[in-house]
């Protein structure tokens, strides 16, 4: 019984990080219908920024979020403006984004491989290897800090979307792009800001990922499939859905890893993606699309 509860605790401790990783991706899709296959590559990019700051100046990776988030926000704004802004009205826009972001992911991987080589990297703050001991249970401090920060950021994003003027414009654009434009929403600006915010969340995720997992330039290939599973299961464009699916699949994957070995854990995400597309394509909290 102790082991079962211990696995549950470890799964929940990772769920928050997965939620942060997928939140930016689901926001970007919800507002602009961009299937951002480069999202995991941007997360790895942010992880390398944190790694570099830690190695050169010993900046704590949590503190480095003050750098990675604004840097990735600016990268997102520039990326959207250069590659997508002029194509937003194209009827095949979503199809175009799949190809463009996939190519972008490969370019980012190549640049990171040139700059940092393909060696496994990670940051190593003092809390990275220390646990909290609660009776017979232990929880890695790194995962606790990362999950609490992730939940705080996601809740802050949700509050921003719910209670600010820009947030209302973003939600209106998510619900109906054309109608939002008719009532005066600057859809082009909202889309650009949303992409920036989405990558800012990726920047935060990269900083947290840097001390929880080892990473290398091509690691994004493994992560993007997992992120797609979380976003689709939660409901494309649903922030709360992404959070729910992240905790759910993180716990299930932890039990699979415990009983059948870590090699089988990733299958949890792909099986969930297959089943949700087969039986409930709109996801757990997503809305059914017309047509």
Flag whether 138 is in a domain. no
d(CA 273, CA 118): 29
The torsion region of residue 109 among left (phi > 0), alpha (psi -120 to 50) and beta comes to alpha
Q: Are 45 and 108 in contact (CB under 8 A)?
A: yes
C-alpha closest to that of 212 among 277, 140, 120: 140
List, in sequence order, every residue forming a beta bridge with 229; answer none if it has no partner. none
The C-alpha atoms of residue 242 and residue 227 are separated, in whole angstroms, by 9
CB-CB neighbours of 82 under 10 Å: 9
**Per-residue pLDDT tens digits for 136-154:** 999 999 999 999 999 999 9
Number of domains in the chain: 1
Distances from the Cα of 1 to the Cα of 6, 7, 61, 248, 250, angstroms: 9, 10, 35, 20, 19
Q: What is the mean pLDDT of the chain?
A: 93
Could you give the CA distance from residue 264 to residue 224 in angstroms, rounded to a whole number?
Answer: 17
What is the per-residue pLDDT for 43? Answer: 98
d(CA 291, CA 288): 9
Span 96-120, pLDDT tens digits = 999 999 999 999 999 999 999 999 9
162 part of a folded domain? yes
Is 284 part of any domain? no
Average confidence (pLDDT) over 238-265: 94
Asked if residue 290 is part of any domain, the answer here is no
Cα(229)–Cα(268) distance, integer angstroms: 9
3-state class (DSSP) for residue 137: strand
Token pair for 8? 């549950």
Report the C-alpha gap between 149 and 151 in whole angstroms.
6
Q: Which residues contact 181 (CB under 8 A, 6 or more apart)?
A: 187
Residue 40, pLDDT above cutoff 90: yes
The answer to whether position 84 is within a domain reads yes
Separation of alpha carbons 132 and 109, rounded Å: 36
Instruction: Say what the alpha-carbon torsion angle 51, 227, 127, 108 is, to the nearest 10 degrees.
Output: 0
**Residue 286: inside a domain, yes or no?**
no
Q: Is residue 11 part of a domain?
A: yes
Other Cβ atoms within 10 Å of 54 Cβ, number:
22
CB atoms within 10 A of CB 216: 19
The reply to whether 139 falls in a domain is no
Dihedral (CA of 159, 70, 64, 66) sign: negative
pTM of this prediction? 0.96
pLDDT tens readout for residues 28-37: 998 988 999 9
Residue 201: is its pLDDT beyond 80?
yes
pLDDT for residue 291: 40
CATH of the domain at 200: 1.10.3470
Instruction: Write the CA distances from 231 to 34, 82, 225, integer angstroms.
Output: 13, 25, 10
What Å distances lie between residue 117 and 49, 164, 237, 258, CA to CA? 14, 43, 35, 33
Contacts of 57 (CB under 8 A, 6+ apart): none
Sequence-separated (6 or more) residues with CB below 8 Å from residue 209 = 17, 21, 43, 47, 215
Identify the domain containing residue 50 by its residue range: 2-132+145-279
Rounded-to-integer distance, Cα 38 and Cα 107, Å = 10
pLDDT at 162 over 90: yes
């Amino acid at each position: 019984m102790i082991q079962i509860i211990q696995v549950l605790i470890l799964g929940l401790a990772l769920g928050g990080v997965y939620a942060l990783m997928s939140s930016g991706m689901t926001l970007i899709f919800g507002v602009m219908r961009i299937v951002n296959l480069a999202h995991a590559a941007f997360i790895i990019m942010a992880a390398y920024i944190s790694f570099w700051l830690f190695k050169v100046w010993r900046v704590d990776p949590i503190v480095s979020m003050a750098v990675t988030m604004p840097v990735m926000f600016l990268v997102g704004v520039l990326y959207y403006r250069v590659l997508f802004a002029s194509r937003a009205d194209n009827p095949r826009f979503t199809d175009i984004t799949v190809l463009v972001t996939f190519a972008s992911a490969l370019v980012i991987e190549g640049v990171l491989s040139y700059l940092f080589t393909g060696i496994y990297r990670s940051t190593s703050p003092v809390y990275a290897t220390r646990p909290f001991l609660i009776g017979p249970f232990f929880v890695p401090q790194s995962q606790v800090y990362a999950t609490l920060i992730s939940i705080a950021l996601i809740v802050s994003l949700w509050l921003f979307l719910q209670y600010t003027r820009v947030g209302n414009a973003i939600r209106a654009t998510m619900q109906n792009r054309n109608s939002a434009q008719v009532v005066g929403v600057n859809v082009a600006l909202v889309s650009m800001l949303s992409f920036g915010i989405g990558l800012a969340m990726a920047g935060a995720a990269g900083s947290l990922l840097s001390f929880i997992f080892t990473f290398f330039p091509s690691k994004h290939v493994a992560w993007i499939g997992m992120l797609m599973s979380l976003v689709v299961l939660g409901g494309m464009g649903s922030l709360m859905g992404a959070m729910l699916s992240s905790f759910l699949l993180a716990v299930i994957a932890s039990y699979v890893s415990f009983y059948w070995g870590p090699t089988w854990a990733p299958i949890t995400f792909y099986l969930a993606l297959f089943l949700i597309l087969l039986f409930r394509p709109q996801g757990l909290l997503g809305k059914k699309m017309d047509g």
